[in-house]
Amino acid sequence: MDLYEHQARELFEAHGIVVPRAGITDSPERAREIARALGGRAVVKAQVRTGGRGRAGGVCVAADPPAAEEAARHILGMDIKGHTVGTVMLAEPCDVEREFYVSYVLDRAAGRFVAVASAEGGTEIEQVAAERPEAVARIPVDPAAGVNTATAVRIADAAGLPPQTVDTLAAGVNTATAVRIADAAGLPPQTVDTLVRLWQVLVREDALLVEVNPLARTADGRIVALDGKVTLDDNARFRHPGRGDAHATGSDPLEVRAAAKGLNYVRLDGEVGVVGNGAGLVMSTLDAVAGRGARPANFLDIGGGASARVMADGLAVVLSDPGVKSVLVNIFGGITACDAVADGIVRALDEVRLTKPLVVRLDGNNAARGRALLDARAHPLVEQATTMDGAAHRAARLATAASTAA
């Protein structure tokens, strides 16, 4: 469950992390009042569970309360990657001196968390990692040990983050020395302290991801979380009664639609729709698509029983995403054989109007028979691949071609 930025901000503040003063509203007139309470100037930010708000015009700086009202009126109702803006957050502007990136994310394959940090925040961290991987530090975190001061020092050192913004500590000493000086003076090194507190957010709130971009050093020497992204573990909702209900309003409409059909669907920001049977296979398929230079548009695990009904519902949801340019169905036949899955696809094609190319890869039990069923259907927008990598390559090329043509 992804939180809105203002919800992540509330969690940060509750755990002692410095955040700008802010307020949220769904009313332009109320935005004017909030801006006035913040001192006049305000950063007006669309509240949607997706990235790219700034490029879409969903973030702007208002010089005064009337400008804040006008900005809120413009942003409210805006469509950002299929998400309609229902609320805006107005935050107090900060005089930023430098920006950093920090996150803790679950590494399922390794069975541990990873701290990802960079001295170059405020930009697309994926682009930084791809072009200059040395600029992004990845520090494994033992979930049993967690992040204490010593671990936070290692993270700060590895990423080149400042341990302390007080000039007397920052001049001429390394991180460990600055920490000892600060401890002796009873003054916590702000970056290290923030790293520890962010870990506490992750553990105490049962999160799978805690991200701050940017984590800023201001001109007055504070370390401030200017933006936040938090993903909570749905399996731990019982430990946080009411939270799920409180955050349900405004969920992605396709995710709501899929949930009503009993589908395990998560919407992403890409152009290649992905359907598979089994969470591990779907995750591998997402990686294969990304490895071919495209972006997955969703995660959809149809499970072991890929019936015609399930396949039809799944394809209908995936094809409803306006960002999808091609669809990749990757199936490994086991208890449910590939010919049964292929029959489900054929039946689904009779119910769902296919308007985008569909690449199907069948492997495992009765794969040859399943491929024959699809060949016999001979749908002009359906083609097959024999390997996952080949299917990902083809789906990526089709999506690129469709995007270029558009």
Name the one residue in this structure whose structure tokens are 């591998």: 284
Q: Enter the tokens of residue 127.
A: 């682009």
Rounded to the nearest angstrom, the gap between the alpha carbon of residue 376 and the centroid of all alpha carbons in its chain is 40
| DSSP code per residue over 226-247 | ---EEEE-GGGGGGSTTHHHHH
107 by DSSP, 3-state: which?
A: strand
Rg (CA), the chain: 24
| SS3 of 321-354 | CCCCCEEEEEEEECCCCHHHHHHHHHHHHHHCCC
Name the one residue in this structure whose structure tokens are 């997402």: 286
Q: What is d(CA 317, CA 274) in angstroms, rounded to the nearest whole number?
A: 11
**Which candidate in 69, 99, 211, 271 is catalytic?**
211
Assess contact for 92 and 218: CB atoms under 8 A. Answer: no
Q: What is d(CA 299, CA 18) in angstroms, rounded to the nearest whole number?
A: 34
Assess contact for 179 and 192: CB atoms under 8 A. Answer: yes
Q: What is d(CA 271, CA 274) in angstroms, rounded to the nearest whole number?
A: 10
| DSSP code per residue over 12-41 | HHHTT-----EEEES-HHHHHHHHHHTTS-
Long-range contacts of the stretch 11-17 (C-beta < 8 A, 24+):
11/201, 11/205, 11/228, 11/230, 12/197, 12/198, 12/201, 12/212, 12/225, 12/228, 15/197, 15/198, 15/200, 15/201, 15/204, 16/197, 17/194, 17/197, 17/198, 17/201, 17/225
| DSSP code per residue over 343-389 | HHHHHHHHHS---S-EEEEEEETTHHHHHHHHHHH--TTEEEESSHH
Q: What is d(CA 117, CA 103) in angstroms, rounded to the nearest whole number?
A: 6
**Which candidate in 101, 104, 205, 265 is catalytic?**
101
Is position 104 annotated as part of the catalytic site?
no
Q: Give me the active site residues, please.
A: 101, 211
